[in-house]
A = this chain, B = another copy of it.
């Protein structure tokens, strides 16, 4: 009987996708709270409302579970930002603003996911650091695509080389990462405030900020 296994585990019958989502949600919370080494499969199962054998059946091991968390959260973040940036008809600064606002809002709304992604994934050694680096490269490539489009549209775009674009994308991703960590840890800083700071930094530049000239919508 199909229900046999879950009955043994003493859990209610739910579609596998729903169960897996519950497990990953619980895992992200536990990993963010205790770190990879200390988080226990017992606590994750309890928080997900399932038996521990079911967690192993679906996600195989703690290592696989952690990797699945990194993948899911990175994909969710990228999808959110890509969705917000919208189509190329919108002016590049508006697209950047929309992307940054979506990014900081997502990081603020999912602080546990952001801790797992930006910190745990890197600080728990291999193979997670490589997985995190792969996701980071994907996001940097996406941002480079945006900057490249903007450069091609701009009148003097020809002056910005492919390598410039890649380097600027690295700088932008690095600054966004650092600022999101700071914003989430600093009481009272909103996602909108963090996005505005980075928009001013990245688009207007420090030189203009010092003269009191900030980025503003046209």
Contact = CB atoms under 8 A, between A and B. Distances in A.
Interface stretch (A8-16, A39-47, A59-67, A147-155): A147-155
B147 A206 contact: yes
Contacts of A179: 167, 170-171, 174
Contacts of A194: 167
Interface stretch (A19-27, A50-58, A121-129): A121-129
Interface in A155-182: 155-157, 159-160, 163-164, 166-168, 170-179, 181-182
Interface of A: 35, 37, 92-93, 96, 119, 122-126, 129, 147, 150-151, 154-157, 159-160, 163-164, 166-168, 170-179, 181-183, 186, 189, 194, 197-198, 201-212, 215
Contacts of A156: 210-212
Identical chains in the assembly: 2
A204 to B, nearest CB: 5
B168 A206 contact: yes
Contact of A166 (B166, B167, B182, B207): B182
13 contacts: A37-B125, A122-B123, A123-B123, A123-B124, A150-B206, A154-B210, A156-B212, A163-B189, A170-B175, A170-B178, A172-B175, A205-B205, A205-B206
